[in-house]
Amino acid sequence: MKDVAARAGVGLKTVSRVVNSEPGVTPDTERRVQEAITALGFRRNDSARILRKGRTASVGLVLEDLADPFYGPLSRAVEEVARDHGALLINGSSAEDPAREQELVLALCARRVDGLVVIPAGDDHRYLEPEISAGVATVFVDRPAGRINCDAVLSDSFGGARDAVAHLIAHGHRRIGFIGDQPRIHTAIERLRGYRAAMSVAGLPVNEAWMSLGATDPSRVLAAAEAMLSGPEPVTALFAGNNRVTVTAVRVLAARPGRAALVGFDDFELADLLSPGVTVVAQDAAQLGRTAANMLFRRLEGADEEPRQIVLPTRLIARGSGEIPPAHRVAS
C-alpha cells in the first residue's frame, strides 16, 4: 500500500479510495494508482476486500466424506457462490469423525475464514459458540447443528423417505427393508422415521429384522441386504437410505434371481441407464449448497436475524426398479 502510494505520488487514503472504487479521485490520479498497482504486482482484489470489510475474503467448507459423489455438486455450488462474492473457498473433510470435524473447524477459524459452511459429522457443536460470537458466520447444510441454534439448510429426509416407501407399498409391497446410515446421523434417523410413518399409515407391521442402520461400506450393506432378502420372511423390496447404500443394493439385486424392488434416497450418475433404471428420491445437492452459501453471504453482509432452518423438497423419480411388483406375495 505504502509502495503504491509512493510510486503514484498520492496519499494512502487515495489508494484506498481507488481500490474500493470510492468517489473523490480524478481519472488521472486513478490511472496513476492503477499503474502503480500493476507495476508493483499489488494484489488488488484481496487487498480491496480486506480494506473494505476487515475480512479475509475466504470461507471454509467442512465436508463429511471427500469420496461421496453426493457432495461434489454441493461443494461446487458453494464454491460458485463464494466466487461470485469474490471469496476464496477452503475445504476440509471430517471423514465422518466428530473429533476431526472440530479440529478442522477450529483450524479454519484460526486461519481466519470469514464464515463456515458445515456438513457436520458430530452432534454437539457448542465448541463453535465462541467462534460464532467472535463473528464467524456459520451455516450448516445437509444435517442440522447439534445443541446450538444455527442456520441450517436441509433436504426433507422424512418426507422423501415416506414418499419412497409409500411408492413401494402402492406397487403391492408389504415386506419392505430399510438400510440406512449410522444412527447418530440426523438424516439416517429422519429417513427411518419416514419409513416407519409410511408403513404405519398403510397399516403394515414392521419387523425389526427389516431395519438396519450402520456404516455404508459395501460389506456391511451387502450383509444387511442378503439377510433381509433371505430367511423365512424375506422382504420383497428395499429402500436404500443414501446413494452409497443404493449402489451396493443394485449389485446385490443384480446378482440374485427373482428381482426385488428398490428405491434409493439420492439420485446418482447413470442410475437411468442401468437395467432396470433405479427409482430414486432425488435431493437437489447443488441447490442445498447454493442456498447455504447464499445464507452465509447474507450473514456476512450484515443480516442480523434469528437463525433459520430451510428445508428443501425431494422428488421421486420412477425409473423401473421401484415399480417391480412383489415376486411372491403372501396371502393377505
Pick out residues in 69-88 that bind a copy of itself (CB under 8 A): 69, 72-73, 75-76, 79, 83, 88
Category of 17 on φ-ψ map: left (φ > 0), alpha (ψ -120 to 50) or beta: alpha
**Interaction of residue 320 with a copy of itself, rule CB under 8 A:** no
* Neighbouring residues of 261: CB distance < 8 A, sequence distance ≥ 6: 168, 171, 173, 236, 237, 238, 321, 322, 323, 324, 325, 326
Per-residue binder mask for a copy of itself (CB under 8 A), 111-150, x = binder: x---------------------------------------
**Interaction of residue 92 with a copy of itself, rule CB under 8 A:** yes
* DSSP SS3 for 132: helix
What number of other Cβ atoms are within 10 A of residue 31's Cβ?
13
Pick out residues in 265-284 that bind a copy of itself (CB under 8 A): 268-270, 273-275
Per-residue binder mask for a copy of itself (CB under 8 A), 39-58, x = binder: -------------------x
How many residues lie near a copy of itself (CB under 8 A)?
A: 35
Alpha helix (H) residue ranges in 21-113: 27-40, 44-53, 71-84, 98-110
**Interaction of residue 107 with a copy of itself, rule CB under 8 A:** yes
**Interaction of residue 26 with a copy of itself, rule CB under 8 A:** no
User: Counting Cβ atoms within 10 Å, is residue 328 exposed (0-12), middle (13-18) or buried (19+)?
Assistant: exposed
* DSSP SS3 for 109: helix
Closer Cβ to a copy of itself, 181 or 190, answer by number? 181
**Interaction of residue 250 with a copy of itself, rule CB under 8 A:** yes
Closer Cβ to a copy of itself, 15 or 252, answer by number? 252
- Of how many residues is the chain composed? 332
The residues binding a copy of itself (CB under 8 A) are 58, 65-69, 72-73, 75-76, 79, 83, 88-93, 95, 100, 103-104, 107-108, 111, 247, 250-251, 254, 268-270, 273-275
